[in-house]
Amino acid sequence: KRQQHELGRLLSQFAQVTAGGSEPTHLPRDALRRLEHSRSLLAEELARLEEFDRHITALGTDLESEVLASRMRPFQEGVGGFRRMVRDVAHELGKEAVLRIEGLDTAVDREILDQINAPLNHLLRNAVDHGIEAPDQRQRLGKPVQGTITLSARHNAGMLLVTVSDDGGGIDLETLRGKIVERGLVNQEMAQRLSESEILDFLFLPGFSTRKQVGSISGRGVGLDVVREAVQKLHGRIHASSRPGQGLTVELQLPLSLSVIRCAITRIAGDLYAFPLMRVEGVLRLPREAIAVSGHHHLFRYRNQQVTLIDTASMLELEESGETESDTLAVVVIGGHRGWYGLVVDRLVAEEPIAVQPLDSRLGTLRDVSALSISADGEAIVVLDMDDLLVSAARVADRQELLTDIPAAATGPHPRRILVVDDSMTVREVERQLLTSHGYQVEVAVDGVEGWHLLDSESFDLVITDIDMPRMNGIELVERIKSDARLKATPVMIVSYKEREEDRLLGLRAGADYYLTKGSFHDDTLIRAVEDLIGRAVP
């Protein structure tokens, strides 16, 4: 590549010397002949190098395709025994059920195919036992005596979607809501505020079952939590939706491959950064005239959403790039429950699949970074963590708002600061409102990784954390806090649905200073515990 560029530069310089159609009079004729001969040789060499470059690029593309293909297997290779299993389980339960499989030829990474076998087994058994009704009940409901369970796999927007659905009775949300209250997982007031998706999320809690009696197939308190854990290990997501009287659908959203992901590759402050496209809402050139200013925020509309512009180099604490001003901005749009953000980059380089390597474990967890890769030219590419980016972008936007709202620094004693870490939006909001109503200043994080990054950059008087969370659970977070020289003196309270003595002891052994169940929210137990640990809100 460097030789190719250098030869091109020399040819351009020679063309400038001989421009104008006449020979330079200050050069001897034999020197001009030698220069012309040299130019001809350079042109031939450049053409040869360009052909070599095209050949190497094509070879690399073919090799990449072969490597990817060698890792992929048709979906049918991993689900061969499921039809018989469904039939046998249905027979054991006195039911009739058939399994329909769609997308048998869908290509799946062999490692993913191996690791989803057990979770799918759990989901299918659960569908037969909990979903499909008994034959006489189906007849009364006007349904076919034989129930149908559908297992499907397809590619969508750079992801692998695997769904398990049945045509059974579905989940009665109000019954499930009552079961949650009955078990003391939340009080009545909080239960009424839970959304449908949050109610269904309780199905994936360890030990949670809608069955009152233990059966040989399910109702044993195991299964769905194993499914969620397996999906999270694959960097995927799980979502349940119910159609009362018509059935339940569980969708697994998984990466297409664990080693190669399609990314938007950009240049920021002189270096290459990759945004995984499965989590990107859009990549565009934004005209400057489309930008509106509101306070300290720069905004634009995209897909009917208000998007806040963020200087990505500044957010990542990089040096200014010094890129030339233009009439448009290169923007990568990301979105989530915190809002939509347009991350301004210096240049959009390409959209292509890249082979990723996980970070060396000795580096620990790096904020905003998930992996590394190497470009075709041998340049390092930093693969960005989209969940972290959403948190960082929201924090930058919030600070801009604070700068607008607060004209001068406050004087006098500051309220004690508490960090609440919980993956349930409802629980986070309930805890935040309860604590702020007593004068505490509260920050929230959606999981242990986000909480750890906040602790790394800000100071808190107390950390309140859940246990079961994606990416980093509460036990891991407590252990990290208590093993960090700067943070180990910070009190940590675990607030969890788990109320068994062994769970409480596990949390306390990890270093937690207090263990509280979420069923205690109906009284002042949380506030009393907080005051016991750090005192009242204002010293």
- The pLDDT value recorded for residue 147 is 95
* Interval 304-352: pLDDT, tens: 788 999 999 989 988 765 554 567 899 999 987 668 999 999 988 888 8
pTM above 0.85, yes or no: no
- The pLDDT value recorded for residue 26 is 56
Give mean pLDDT, residues 384-393.
87
Confidence band of 405 (pLDDT split at 50, 70, 90): very low
Residue 23: inside a domain, yes or no?
Answer: yes
Residue 113 CA to residue 135 CA, distance in Å, equals 33
Nearest alpha-carbon partner for 253 in 117, 161, 115, 116 = 161
Domain boundary among 255, 282, 309: 255
Same domain, 126 and 228: yes
Residue 9: inside a domain, yes or no?
Answer: yes
* Interval 430-454: pLDDT, tens: 788 888 888 898 888 888 888 888 8
Same domain, 339 and 192: no
- pLDDT reading at 16 higher than 70: no
Burial tier of 241 (Cβ tally within 10 Å: 0-12, 13-18, 19+): middle
User: Considering the chain, what percentage of its residues have pLDDT values greater than 90?
Assistant: 27
Residue 285: inside a domain, yes or no?
Answer: yes
Same domain, 344 and 462: no
We report the CATH number of the domain holding residue 274 as: 2.40.50.180
Confidence band of 153 (pLDDT split at 50, 70, 90): very high
For residue 426, what is the enclosing H or E element? helix 425-436
| Containing structural domain, residue 240 | 79-255
Same domain, 89 and 184: yes
Token pair, residue 360, equals 């060396």
Residue 41: inside a domain, yes or no?
Answer: yes
Q: How many domains does the chain have?
A: 4
- pLDDT reading at 213 higher than 90: no
Same domain, 36 and 151: no
What's the per-residue H, E or C state across 30-65?
HHHHHHHHHHHHHHHHHHHHHHHHHHHHHHHHHHHH
Residue 376: inside a domain, yes or no?
Answer: yes
We report the CATH number of the domain holding residue 448 as: 3.40.50.2300
* Interval 35-63: pLDDT, tens: 777 777 777 777 777 777 777 767 766 77
Same domain, 303 and 422: no
- The pLDDT value recorded for residue 124 is 94
Q: Dump strand ranges (E) for 290-393.
A: 292-294, 297-302, 305-311, 328-336, 339-345, 347-355, 357-358, 369-374, 380-384
CB 245 within 8 A of CB 140: no
Q: Which residues contact 416 (CB under 8 A, 6 or more apart)?
A: 440, 441, 461, 462, 534, 535, 536, 537, 538, 539
Residue 483 CA to residue 451 CA, distance in Å, equals 15
CB 266 within 8 A of CB 275: yes
Same domain, 46 and 94: no
Residue 403: inside a domain, yes or no?
Answer: no
- The pLDDT value recorded for residue 413 is 66
Give mean pLDDT, residues 14-28.
54
Token pair, residue 135, equals 């034959």
Token pair, residue 352, equals 């292509």
Same domain, 322 and 296: yes
- The pLDDT value recorded for residue 180 is 84
The residue type found at 108 is V
- pLDDT reading at 75 higher than 90: yes
Token pair, residue 113, equals 């195919």
Residue 274: inside a domain, yes or no?
Answer: yes
Q: Dump strand ranges (E) for 204-256.
A: 237-243, 247-255
- pLDDT reading at 507 higher than 60: yes
Same domain, 326 and 375: yes
- pLDDT reading at 1 higher than 60: no
Token pair, residue 115, equals 């690791």
Same domain, 449 and 513: yes
